[in-house]
Chain A
Amino acid sequence: MYEVIAFYVFAVSTTILFLITAMSKNVLYAMSSLAAGMVMISGFFFLLGADFLGVVQLIVYVGAVMALYAFAMMFFDATKDIKEKHSNPALVFLLGGLMALLFVVMFSVPIIGENVQALYPMHEAAGNAQDVGMVLFTKYLIPFEVAAVMLLVAMIAGIILAGKKMDYSLTECEATDEELIKEIKKEEA
């Protein structure tokens, strides 16, 4: 009973929030609704018994990714309304609808199909986090490590791409403070 209510609440709110993200003209609104929508998504995960996944979604997606978006938004002018030229709205919605239909058809295969077997079956005895941990660090260890490396690389890339004045190191140079300030002021000019 509660499940049904929860599901529909989450579903409706997610849909509305994501619609705002996709349609809104204001960057701030879009971003905020995205963040909220992701919180609702994590609710789904909890409903499905994927506790660990839900927590990870909250921490990583809502906490880290959206924060990243918020920081990035600081660079751009957020007060103005985005003016967008939409050339063919009907076509776009049609495509979207078709895509949805297709996806439903595609994803209904597991329902219809009869030979699907669980590769890594769940154990009810252990909690979800323990289960995930057991599979993650044994069967999925290599992807885990690789993902870690990838995150490292992404972090470095992000720093380099967005960083300023990376040419010289503040700690290793031998200039005095006044010279440094003059350098900085000159660069900023």
Chain B
Amino acid sequence: MEIGISHYLILSGILFSIGFVGVLRRKNLLMLFFATEIMLNAVNVAFAAIGNYYGDLSGQMFAFFIIAVAASEVAVGLGLLILLYKKYGSLDLEVISSMKG
């Protein structure tokens, strides 16, 4: 059977929800970042698939920029993570909850 766009989209949806579940579940900050990466990748797949379906290059361009943004986000985020670890001694979210309302 032909692989149509629906396959790709369903796959993208599944991957996104895996990432989403990971974001909600994970209590360790580093693992949280991993789950965020999963989400970003799933969206990239979706964009590329739709772009291919319509014969449009816009999808791939968007995916490019998402990759660029993700890279810079990781750089800054990890830097902050290191500082946080130095301050609190642990990366557990339950411990780093000093901004209580």
16 pairs from A and B in contact (CB 8 Å cutoff): A21-B35, A22-B35, A34-B34, A48-B51, A65-B74, A84-B27, A95-B21, A99-B17, A100-B17, A110-B5, A110-B53, A111-B5, A118-B57, A119-B58, A147-B69, A153-B72
Main secondary structure of the interface of A (DSSP, over half): helix
- Identify the closest chain B residue to A34 (Cβ): B34
Give me the interface of B with A, judged by CB distance under 8 Å. Answer: 1-3, 5-22, 24-28, 30-31, 33-35, 37-38, 41, 44-46, 48-58, 60-61, 63-65, 67-76, 78-83, 85, 91-92, 94
Q: How far is the CA of A126 from the CA of B80 in the complex (A)?
A: 43
Interface residue count on the A side (C-beta < 8 Å): 81
Do A82 and B38 touch (CB < 8 A)?
Answer: no
Most A Cβ at <10 Å: residue of B28, B70, B83: B28
Question: What is the 8 Å Cβ interface bit string for chain A, positions 83-107, against chain B (1 contact, 0 not)?
Answer: 0111001001101110111011001
Do B5 and A37 touch (CB < 8 A)?
Answer: no
Contact pick for A15, options B15, B35, B72, B80, CB 8 Å: B15
Question: What is the 8 Å Cβ interface bit string for chain A, positions 109-152, against chain B (1 contact, 0 not)?
Answer: 01100001111111000000001100110001001000100110
Do A140 and B16 touch (CB < 8 A)?
Answer: no
Cβ–Cβ < 8 Å partners of A116 in chain B? 54
